[in-house]
Structure 1
Amino acid sequence: MLYSPKWSKAKKRLSSFLCEPLRSRVDFQVINYRKAHDQLGRAVITVDKVEILSMCTITAEREEFYRERDIRAKSNQYNDDDVTGNLALQDQAHKMLKADGIYGQYDFFFALEKYFNSPIEELLKSSDALIRILCLLDRRIGKRTLLKMEETILKEHELIQYFYKLRCDVENIKVII
């Protein structure tokens, strides 16, 4: 499933939310593989033209399959007819991937929809790392909010810590990470 509305409009809107010092440094790209069965590919966040986060659908789906298989093997309960149980296992595997920082392009699109349609105060409380990363790059987040986050940022995923440090660096906020 390709992103709807058009990615070019979404990218322009996303870029408009970037804080001023990062506008020329951070870029978002979506690469679709037309010959792939679902035409999905990957979404990428670059900083200074270096890929920091690649959200590849093929990699995410492969890893999800392996994790789901491992969960099934450990629980020793497999039933083709148990749709609810199978969906729960798939959801558990997907949550494990997100906790490890492995995302598909569809995760990025889901995060974008939530980001565009929710107030920033609500987004800051999100448990989704992609949404938290978008918030850290957002011009609506000020220095005081960034300073308040310093205590808890060490408990966050390393990707969130990276983008927190990047934002603090461009805002001339001294942090200990």
Structure 2
Amino acid sequence: MLRNQQWSKVKKRLDSFKCDSLKERLQFTVTNYRRAHDQLGRAFITVDKKEVLNMCTITSETALNRRTYEIKREKHIPYTDWSQESVIWDEAHEWVLDEGIFAQYDFFDAVEEYFLLPIEKSLKSNNMLIKIFALIDRRTGKRTLEKMKQSILCEKEIVQFFYTLRCKAEGIRLHG
């Protein structure tokens, strides 16, 4: 599991996939908070030293707990009924991910899966983080990016941001 590997090794491997045009501009960072009960913190992506995607465990857990409570309320499940807890948690986690709220562990899970997938599958992944990694990947060529002009419009705003960033970095015209 990647979370047990040294971050420096994971980062080096992740950086090795970055396209040349973004190599110096885009950074992956992981920060752990030793005083946190689980010692997890956050992962974030910066572009030109500006944070563009924050994957904070505390923010994610807060949203997850709120969504779990909402699901129980909507389905009239007593708060003390633990029999459906894992199903409800899975549903809440999917919702949180779909909203683009990621924890540090979601980042590591996505990186791990990304390392195992061929680039074509990564570009079609339902996981926004994997798709983002694929969009900035050196194996994703200009022709592939060109072909995605229409389909990218159906993606979440953050995925579109990384697509636009990559296209501009490669000199690909976005309109016309």
Smaller-chain TM-score range?
A: over 0.9
- Report how far residue 82 of structure 1 moved: 4.4
Shift of 1:2: 8.2
CA RMSD of aligned residues (A): 1.7
Work out the CA distance in 1 between the residues paired with 2:107 and 2:9: 15
Distance 1:2 1:148 in 2: 32
Query: Gaps (5+ residues) in structure 2?
Result: none
Q: Which runs of structure 1 show a deviation greater than 6 angstroms over 4 or more consecutive aligned residues?
A: none
Q: Match for 1:136: what amino acid? A: L
Instruction: Sort the Cα spacing of 1:2 and 1:152 in 2 relative to 1 into closer, same or farther, 3 A.
Output: closer
Distance in 2 of aligned mates of 1:57 and 1:11: 19
1:140-164, CA deviations, whole angstroms, 9 ceiling, x for partnerless residues?
A: 0001110111111111010000000
SS of 2:154's equivalent in the other structure is: coil
Contact residue 2 and residue 40 of structure 1 kept, 8 A = no
Which residue of structure 1 lines up, in the alignment, with residue 25 of structure 2?
A: 25
Aligned to 2:96: 97
For 1:167, what is the secondary structure of its paired residue?
A: helix
Q: State the distance in 1 between where 2:81 and 2:157 align.
A: 39
In the alignment, is the contact (CA less than 8 A) between 1:2 and 1:39 conserved in 2?
Answer: no
TM-score for the superposition, normalised by structure 1:
0.95
Q: TM-score, normalised by structure 2?
A: 0.95
Describe the SS at the equivalent of 1:154.
Answer: helix
Q: Following the alignment from structure 1 to structure 2, what is the Cα–Cα distance between the partners of residues 151 and 2?
A: 34
Q: In the alignment, which residue of structure 2 is the partner of 1:147?
A: 146
Instruction: Write the distance in 2 (CA, Å) between the matches of 1:158 and 1:79.
Output: 34
The amino acid of 1:144's aligned partner reads R
2:156 corresponds to 1:157: yes
Q: Tell me the percent identity.
A: 51
Q: Read off the aligned partner of 1:149 and give its amino acid letter.
A: M
1:4 shift after superposition: 2.0
Q: Select between 93-102 and 40-49 the one with higher mean Cα deviation.
A: 93-102
| Distance in 1 of aligned mates of 2:2 and 2:103 | 13
- Paired AA for residue 151 in structure 1: Q
Would you say 1:50 and 2:44 are equivalent positions? Answer: no
**1:10 paired residue number:** 10
Give the 3-state SS of the residue equivalent to 1:150 in structure 2.
coil
1: CA distance, partners of 2:123 / 2:140: 9
Q: Which residue of 1 aligns with 2:108?
A: 109
Q: 1:47 to 1:32 in 2, by over 3 A?
A: same
Residue pairs, 1:122-141, within 5 angstroms: 122-141=121-140
Structure 1 segments unaligned to the other structure (5+ residues): none
